[in-house]
Structure 1
Amino acid sequence: MDGTNHSLFDARCREQAPFAIDVIMQLDIFGIVLFSVLTFMATVSIVIFIEECIYIYKKVPPNKKTLIIWVTGASPVIGTMSCLGMWVPRATMFCDMTSATYFATVIFKFLILMIEEVGGDDAFLRRSEKKTLKISTGPCCCCCPCLPNAFITSRNLFMLKLGSFQFALLKLVLTILSVVLWTNGNFDPADVAMSGGAIWINSFIGILTIIGLWPVAIIYIHLKESLRVLKIVPKYAMYQMVLILSQLQTAIINILAMNGTIACAPPYTSQARGYLMSQQLLIVEMFIITLVNRLLYRRQYDPLPEEDGEEEIKKTLTSKNAVENV
């Protein structure tokens, strides 16, 4: 029997994820170099983020400071949590929960940031008073092109904000609930049985995620042309990349690991090795996204150029005032 088949029946393949000391002790030269480089990438991401926060605090208008810090912090936070999970495999569940909870807040913050880029709620409503919102868009209603467009009102704007805010709030609540159930032995991310809590909580989170992403897509489609000069397209692309890589990519790898497609490699179980692969990929990917975000967000934030309709109104008002003064 060769070494590969032997590893499938190794008793350590049926154990839990290894302790941090076991990970360190089994590292060879390649492993030491790999872990060192990935840790360096995660550290550099945090340093870049801190430097960017200092710049934003000094140069950016107050209404956008915290929003930009939250949005640009997604990639370094996820990269750092992945690095911690790589070194301490038994903390992976908590690291993943922290990353997911943070990004749930980022979804809401990105929505508010797009609105603030046009001047806030009042400016958004003023610019869009004669326009409508296309609601037949992903990820919720992309298959329903027959849906009518919605008028842009303060109530509809509030509902869009509420749609994303509920995900940020309920994700935090469900994360706390998951930890409480885990301490009582009722929650295990690897347990997909109907009697377990993970399948129900994760399914509910999936529904909340779709609802939370929908308002962001609606606002983005509506403001894409207006905010093109502010590089909203690449910013939205980076936001989508973080979403896909941190959620979809991780889910696919974890499913493959739970099905045994990813082989066990002691001291890593099949599932722990899947987590390790996902974490190592995320560290590199989030490092690259951090660099790109620095180019996109570290800039002078000048007022958004006004649309033609607003310029005409201002010119008319200016002319009237000039006539009255004469």
Structure 2
Amino acid sequence: MNNVSNRTANSCDGEPPFAIDNIRNQDVFGIILYSVLTFMATISMLVFLEECVYIYKKVPANKKSAIIWVNGAAPVISTMSCIGMWIPRAVMITDLTSGTYFAIVVFKFLIMMLEEIGGDEAFLKRYSKHKLKISTGPCCCCCLCLPHVAITRRTVFLLKLGSFQFALLKLIFTLLSIFLWTNGNYNPQDMRITGAAIWINPFVGILTVTALWPVTITFMHLRITLRTLKIVPKYAMYQLVLILSQLQTAIINILAMNRIIACSPPFSSPARGYMLSQQLLILEMFIITLVTRLLYRRQYDPLPEEEPGDNENTKLTTLAVSA
């Protein structure tokens, strides 16, 4: 009896199982679940590849790269989650890969909005007399006293830089985390002050918030101009991927590390939390992939020239006067 208790305790505190042990431990329900989720991840990637072919043939050259990157967010996360589901010990690598890809997507979504207008020059020509409202989330939604900023080349450069720094630094911190992990110095579950994770993760969180701010500023200014291109639901899907892949995963992992999610041999509580997170992401990203395909599969005609009173600032002024 003591031996059984000791094995159970060790499995609840030890490393995630190897892939072969994970497969051998599955019952009929587990085999069906893994098969269905793998099928969903495969379909997500096939839909993405088909969409890449469509974009390559139908979309102007200046928009191809950004749209393909943004379209790939859900399928890539789904594929990485599927790999992490089958190979539990690779979860940290797959999570870091998904996070790095999405960091690039944040920057590419900003580029995509600018390219939908016609590029930097067209954006400056169209909105040079306007001003940007910077008191938006996630940084400064409560700071209503912040002044509006004139739209200049420097402003556009700073908006791009604010998002690009996340794509670059996230890659650097991902490589650093992997190097430290191979040396035994990085463990996502180690929240001690002497651990590397307690220093790296909060800094990456600050970079994330800083990168999301320019995207929100640009979206708030262009959402009416680009409404015919379904920019609002596109932005909603982009935000949903962010919430599910970052916030949802973080919440599940915190619950698992505090043993609220019970261990289930051969999975410890943290490993089971990671597993549940991967399985949920596969299902969620499958649905988002299908919705995203509907939003981006369209004719990419140039926007009409701006008519007097057709910009968001004028509309808001008119509404205020009418009220």
- The corresponding residue for 2:174 is 175
Task: Determine the C-alpha separation between the residues in 2 that align with 1:7 and 1:37.
Answer: 34
- The corresponding residue for 1:136 is 135
Task: Determine the C-alpha separation between the residues in 1 that align with 2:303 and 2:284.
Answer: 31
Aligned-pair CA distance for 1:10: 2.9
Q: TM-score, normalised by structure 2?
A: 0.93
- The corresponding residue for 2:259 is 260
- The corresponding residue for 2:315 is none
Task: Determine the C-alpha separation between the residues in 2 that align with 1:8 and 1:280.
Answer: 26
Q: In 1, are the aligned partners of 2:124 and 2:151 still within 8 Å (CA)?
A: yes
Q: In 2, are the aligned partners of 1:42 and 1:79 still within 8 Å (CA)?
A: yes
Q: Note if 1:145 corresponds to 2:144.
A: yes
Note the alpha carbon deviations across 1:146-166, whole angstroms, 9 max, x for none: 111111111011001000000
**Over alpha carbons, which structure has the higher Rg?**
1
Identity of aligned residues (%): 68
Change (3 A) 1:7 1:247: farther
Task: Determine the C-alpha separation between the residues in 2 that align with 1:121 and 1:249.
Answer: 35
State the SS of the aligned residue for 1:124: helix
Aligned-pair CA distance for 1:183: 1.4
Q: Name structure 1 gaps, 5 residues minimum.
A: 312-326
1:75-114 alignment to 2 at 5 Å? 75-114=74-113
Note the alpha carbon deviations across 1:120-140, whole angstroms, 9 max, x for none: 001101111111101000011
Task: Determine the C-alpha separation between the residues in 2 that align with 1:9 and 1:288.
Answer: 37
- The corresponding residue for 2:50 is 51
Q: In 2, are the aligned partners of 1:167 and 1:208 still within 8 Å (CA)?
A: yes
Change (3 A) 1:83 1:148: same
What is the total number of aligned residue pairs between the two structures? Answer: 308
1:220-239 alignment to 2 at 5 Å? 220-239=219-238
Change (3 A) 1:295 1:42: same
Greater shift, 12-21 or 85-94, is seen at 12-21
Aligned-pair CA distance for 1:285: 0.3
Q: In 1, are the aligned partners of 2:8 and 2:265 still within 8 Å (CA)?
A: no
- The corresponding residue for 1:307 is 306
Q: Note if 1:294 corresponds to 2:296.
A: no
Q: Note if 1:283 corresponds to 2:282.
A: yes
Task: Determine the C-alpha separation between the residues in 2 that align with 1:175 and 1:100.
Answer: 9
Task: Determine the C-alpha separation between the residues in 1 that align with 2:10 and 2:16.
Answer: 13
1:60-79 alignment to 2 at 5 Å? 60-79=59-78
Task: Determine the C-alpha separation between the residues in 2 that align with 1:214 and 1:243.
Answer: 13
Change (3 A) 1:143 1:28: same
Q: In 2, are the aligned partners of 1:7 and 1:264 still within 8 Å (CA)?
A: no
Note the alpha carbon deviations across 1:73-122, whole angstroms, 9 max, x for none: 00000000000000000000000000000000000000000000000001
Aligned-pair CA distance for 1:309: 3.7
Q: TM-score, normalised by structure 1?
A: 0.92
- The corresponding residue for 1:320 is none
1:210-221 alignment to 2 at 5 Å? 210-221=209-220
1:119-130 alignment to 2 at 5 Å? 119-130=118-129
Aligned-pair CA distance for 1:299: 1.2
Residue type at the aligned position of 1:45 = S
